[in-house]
Each structure stands twice: as structure tokens, then as C-alpha cells.
Structure 1
Amino acid sequence: MTLTRELPADTHTGAGLPVPFTVAGTAVHLPPTVVTNEDLTRTLDTTDEWIVARTGIRQRRRLDPGLATSDMCLAAAGPALRAARLTPADLDAVIVASYTHDQPLPSTSLIVKDALGARRALAFDVTQAACASGVHAVLLAAHLLQNPSVTTVLVLAADCASRVTRPGDRTAGVFFGDAAAAAVLTRTEAAGAGLLSHDLGSQLSYQVQIAAGGSRLPTSPDTVASGEHYLAMDGRAVWDTATTRLPQSITNAVRRAGLAPADIDHFFLHQANINILDHTLRELGVPAERAPVTLDTLGNTGAAGMFTALHHATTRGRLRPGDTYVLSAIGAGFHWGTLCLRHG
């Protein structure tokens, strides 16, 4: 069925942008360490059957000690630039979407820019929308590309949730995997390509949070001892919000583009939970084969998730010129959003 809900007050829906752009190259970096469900049963009170039934996840990756988010970003950036037949010198901007930055200061995007040698590029960090940060990053890139002086933007989405997951946490411990993904966005001569419309929404909630380490609750021996620097997540709240907001946001965005969900060729969705994905597609009334699934082998990779699905399609030649697609995600805050695009 097609949703007919009215726009909520906490949603901003916008039209497209006149300057066309396209995804010229993508890449994904996966740390080599694989953690299976069976591995988790040795330290968590869970089973493979329970994890698969409730999440669809069978394994996930873990970043090696001594490495950081920027290292994953760099590993994804190189192949994406090569796929786009570009070099770091061609970049006008580097945007990093991540809630697991290398350190509070300096910015992770600046660390990545410097290591790449992208000397003239602007550097931006998109951080506190968590898993929805990738949507915000692409929207920022789309608007930058409207400027005549900007022709090429590298968007990197990377999270290593293993660094902020409390040991022994039966809920968060089974969901998250570490990964990075990259997308190179460039101007194109293809008329009608680029951003057709967008829908963004937000509603304050502390049901997914990292409480300590900021100005309200600075790091102290007490906050460390009580584990307040680890991610705390109310799974029921995530389910209720995601299953409402994702299909609603997608419907709002595609309608603004003059389309219906059935008209969209590809759905590159936040890879959080197979049951959330299935519910969203049923609400939209579209077949599952239009939405690639990567969470079964990667877990919930935060901001990188929807880009891993995008990369899955591009590397298999399934994203063709003229195809319409959506990028949609929800993250802590809560933030949610959808971009409706046409491939150039």
C-alpha cells in the first residue's frame, strides 16, 4: 500500500536543486576481523538463533586496536576516487559523517583531508545525527555542488561502534559493526540528474545516547567508572520510531519529486535491522529486491550503512543512468531523513 499520512510538524520537506550531479564512484572498507554470532555467544547471554530472528545479522566487522575512524575513511577514499577516475587534487570538499570521531579536536575530516593530500578541499564533519549523518552529508554535498567553484565532493561515512559499546551489553553488542564507505559526487551534464527532493525530520529523545564526555557531563573518574561513555539504547523506542518515520519520510520525499514509492528503482536504506527494513518496504508497497541488504554480513554500520547498499548496487551495474533512488536513514536524536535522487 502507499502511505497517505500528512506531513508532521517536525518535518522539513524541500524541492530539488537545479545543478545536476551524479555519483561518480563508490567504495567500502571493511576491517579484516570478523565476529560471528557464535563468537558473541561466548561472552554475551544470547544465541545465534535469537540474533538472526531479531536482527537478521550473522556477522560483523571489528576495527583493530591502534586504528581509528580516519584510517577506515582513508581506506575507502582511495578506491572511490579511482572508480571516479579522480585524484585527491581534484577534490573541492571532503565531508566525513561519523559519531565515532578520532578525537574531539582536531576534526576527523581535516585529518582525512591532510592524509589524502587534498590540499584545496574544504573539510566538514557531520556528527551528531549518528546513523542519519550520511543523509545530512549528502544533502550538504548537493548544496555545495550548486556553487560554480565546487565540482567534486568526497562524502565519507564511517563508524566504529565497537569503541563505544559497553562490554557485555547484550543489546548493542549484537547489532553494530565497524565499516567505512565513500561516495564521490561530481557535477554532470545529464539534465535532470541529482537531487529531486528531500525530507528531514527530528524529535528530541535521549533513548539512544552517549551521556558523558560533553559540556553537561564532562569526563571524570565517576563517569568512566559508571560506563556513561558507552552507547545506551532503548531497542523498543528505536523500533517504534524507525518503523513510523522511515516509511513516512520516504513517502514525503518521493511525493515532493512528483513520484510514488512504486516509481523508485532503488532504495538504499539504513542497515539497522532486517525487521525494520522489511516493515518499511511493506508499508511502501515495494518489492524487497529494490532494497539491497548488507546488514546480514556487516551488522549496523551506522552512517556507513546506506552507502554500503549503494555500493552493492553500483559495483553490480544495477544503478543505471536515469534510475531514481532514495537514500534514507534514522539516527539517535532522533534524526531521520530521505533524499530522492536521479542517477546521472
Structure 2
Amino acid sequence: MNPKSLRQPSLTRPVGIVSVGLHIPPRVVTNAELIEGLDTTDEWIRARTGIAERHFADSDSATSDLAVAAARQALDAAGIAASDLDAVLVATFSPDQPLPSTALTVKQALGADHALPFDIAQAACAGGIYALLVAAHLLQNPAFSHVMVVGADCGSRMTDPQDRTTRVFFGDAAGAVVLGGVPEGFGLLAWDTGDDLSHAVGIPAGGSRRPFSEAVLHDRSHYLQMNGKGAWNAATGRLPHSIREVAARAAVPLHEVDHFLLHQANINILADVMKQLDIPIERVPVNVDRLGNTASASIFTVLHERMAEVEHGDHLILSAIGAGYIWGSLCFRHYVGGK
């Protein structure tokens, strides 16, 4: 346990969700299409992951293109201009390229001329949680009024087409949130974070330790590699505790939480986590069957799909774990303007 996660958090300036946006590439990739050449079956994928299909970005699209589309939708929903943004944060493990910055690319495409660009680059599937937390702290600056947070990934580009272990899991998507000030008693009430270094899930090559080379291309270590059992143990071992912790810090009993929004990694992980919490799985929105694991975008996809049902004063818990391992949970009390 990270000792910092034991501190009771508080924000001087309350920060809440102003609007959301989502972009899903139109191309649907079914299990039947994906398993050609892989030693697996549609039945195995559905039983082990719950995934029936996922979406892949077109070959001429990059992560920033997905991010910009989601961000524009969030700006429209917020009724603000890109020039009103004070910062743009992009969480991704599949940047357009190592340099320049993906957040800078997104900022420029939006026309957010006054915004600071920040990349949250290596938190993987927990990137959205960490980006929201960083954004909330940026908004403690009285000079900041709105911050755009985007979680976007082209996970299909990071998996080995020959690897049945990882290839079937990931889809491409982007989600966006505009954060801004809200009245006292609303917005981000509490958070919990933790980490435990592990190489069970990761991309071994392509960095300074193992730069690209013929050997890397030959052993395919520039692709995502995953120990399924390790990932299962980390997710089911860490997320229930984190969710309990953030609810306690927000002083909200678990059974009074209105919306549980969990990273969509695997239907069986979702079921196990909720069983440990003694919360019916029916209370958790699920889209992993249609979208697969969309990594940094995942938490935003379920948030976007659920927002139509979120009412003024509702409590939301967002929780995710990513390679590293890095995990975290946030508790919001939603504010609807004019209430």
C-alpha cells in the first residue's frame, strides 16, 4: 500500500464533471474476424473475457484523432470554446509517436491556444483516473476555470496480431471530460490511489532499456505482453479495497453509491470485484462485450453511457487498474447547473 493513499484528501476549490464526450471508431471487429490465424475460439473469448466484438480505428487514424473527436463533443456539451480551456490532459499508452506530445497535438487541433498540454503516458488502463485527479488539482489554481481530460487509446496497434493472449482483449476508443468548479459539497469528494511495481503486464522493448533493434522485431517484444493470472490477481485483489476506501473517505456507505463505474477489462473481473463488495453486478454498467478493453478510454466510455441516468446529487465511484500495477478510485457527487 502506498502510504500517501492513506491520507484523507480534500480540495480547497470543489471540482466536478461539467460535460462528457465519446468517440468510438465505426469499424467493428468481431471475434470471428479476429481469430483467423489464432489458436482460439469465439466461445473461449466470450467465456474468459465476455467480449464479443470491439472497434478498431481506421489505418489513417491515430490516437490523437480519436481524442480530438471526443474532446470536441465534450466542449459542445459544456457550451464552452476550446479557447476557454486552461489545460488539456491526455492519458494514453498508445501515443501518436514518442515525440512530440500527444496532448500538444490534441490541444493544437482543438484550438485551445491558452491551455497547458499534459501527457499522462504510462498509467495504462488507470490513466483516466490519474488524469482526472491531476486535473482536479490543477483547478485549485484560482486562475484556472476549465480543464479538458481525455483518455484515448488505439490498443489494437499495441497488441501482437499473432498473440491470442492479448490480441482478443483490446479495442480503440476515446472519452473526454470537462472539469470545472462546482458548489461546496459537490464534485470530487475523495480519492484513493496505489501502486506495486510489476512487469507482468507491459511492453518490454522500445524504450531506453531495450531500444528498437532487429532482435526486438524478431522476438516481438515491442508489443504488449500480459500474464493473465497476474492481471486477474492484481485487479481482483486491489480494486475492492480501493473502492471501499474511497467510499469511506467520502463518508458514503457503499450501498448508497448510485453509480459504480469500473474499468472494462474483463466481465469476470467485474463480477468478482462486485461480489467481494456484495453489490449486484446488475448495478455496474458493462460495455466490454461491445467495446473490449479500451484502456485509458475505458472509464470514460462507461461514464458517458451512464451520464444520461445520473441525477443531481448522485454519488459516482470510478475505479480502474492499469499495468504497472497502478490503480485508483474517485468518488464524485454530481452537480447539475441551476439546481
- TM band (smaller chain): over 0.9
* Structure 2 residue aligned with 1:332: 323
TM-score by length of 1: 0.94
**From 221, 236, 239, the counterpart of 2:214:** 221
- 8 A contact 1:17–1:194 mirrored in 2: no
For residues 278 and 4 of structure 2, the distance between their equivalents in structure 1, rounded to whole angstroms, comes to: 22
- The aligned amino acid for 1:230 is Y
Q: Could you say what secondary structure the match of 1:218 adopts?
A: coil
Q: Could you say what secondary structure the match of 1:12 adopts?
A: helix
- The aligned amino acid for 2:325 is F
For residues 16 and 207 of structure 1, the distance between their equivalents in structure 2, rounded to whole angstroms, comes to: 33
Q: Which runs of 4+ in 1 moved over 6 A?
A: none
- 1:144-155 mapped onto 2 (5 Å cutoff): 144-155=138-149
* Structure 2 residue aligned with 1:47: 41
What per-residue deviation string (whole Å, max 9, x for no partner) do you get for residues 220-268 of structure 1?
Answer: 1211222111001000000011001010111111111122221211111
* Structure 1 residue aligned with 2:269: 276
Task: Tell me how far 1:161 sits from its aligned partner.
Answer: 1.1
For residues 274 and 29 of structure 2, the distance between their equivalents in structure 1, rounded to whole angstroms, comes to: 28
The answer to whether the aligner puts 1:93 opposite 2:87 as a matched pair is: yes
Change (3 A) 1:223 1:56: same
* Structure 2 residue aligned with 1:124: 118
What per-residue deviation string (whole Å, max 9, x for no partner) do you get for residues 82-138 of structure 1?
Answer: 011111011111000001011111110000001111000011000111001111100
- 1:311-330 mapped onto 2 (5 Å cutoff): 311-314=304-307, 317-330=308-321
Q: Size of the alignment, in residue pairs?
A: 334
For residues 148 and 5 of structure 2, the distance between their equivalents in structure 1, rounded to whole angstroms, comes to: 25
- Give the RMSD, CA atoms, in angstroms: 1.2
What per-residue deviation string (whole Å, max 9, x for no partner) do you get for residues 148-198 of structure 1?
Answer: 11110110001111111111211111110010111111112x321111111
- 1:92-111 mapped onto 2 (5 Å cutoff): 92-111=86-105
- The aligned amino acid for 1:236 is K
- 1:176-325 mapped onto 2 (5 Å cutoff): 176-188=170-182, 190-314=183-307, 317-325=308-316
Task: Tell me how far 1:327 sits from its aligned partner.
Answer: 1.1
* Structure 2 residue aligned with 1:69: 63
- The aligned amino acid for 2:171 is G
For residues 90 and 287 of structure 1, the distance between their equivalents in structure 2, rounded to whole angstroms, comes to: 41
Task: Tell me how far 1:41 sits from its aligned partner.
Answer: 2.7
- 8 A contact 2:190–2:250 mirrored in 1: yes
Structure 2, unpaired ranges of 5+:
none
For residues 2 and 35 of structure 2, the distance between their equivalents in structure 1, rounded to whole angstroms, comes to: 43
- The aligned amino acid for 1:216 is R
What per-residue deviation string (whole Å, max 9, x for no partner) do you get for residues 10-34 of structure 1?
Answer: 6613423132222121111111111
The answer to whether the aligner puts 1:343 opposite 2:337 as a matched pair is: no
- 8 A contact 2:91–2:131 mirrored in 1: yes
- 8 A contact 1:261–1:285 mirrored in 2: no
Change (3 A) 1:334 1:237: same
The answer to whether the aligner puts 1:28 opposite 2:22 as a matched pair is: yes
For residues 280 and 11 of structure 2, the distance between their equivalents in structure 1, rounded to whole angstroms, comes to: 29
- 8 A contact 1:15–1:257 mirrored in 2: no
For residues 88 and 259 of structure 2, the distance between their equivalents in structure 1, rounded to whole angstroms, comes to: 26
For residues 281 and 178 of structure 2, the distance between their equivalents in structure 1, rounded to whole angstroms, comes to: 27
Structure 1, unpaired ranges of 5+:
1-7
TM-score by length of 2: 0.96
For residues 71 and 267 of structure 1, the distance between their equivalents in structure 2, rounded to whole angstroms, comes to: 29
Q: Could you say what secondary structure the match of 2:331 adopts?
A: strand
Change (3 A) 1:296 1:343: same
- 8 A contact 2:21–2:176 mirrored in 1: yes
Q: Could you say what secondary structure the match of 1:175 adopts?
A: coil
Percent identical among aligned pairs is: 52
For residues 319 and 82 of structure 2, the distance between their equivalents in structure 1, rounded to whole angstroms, comes to: 28
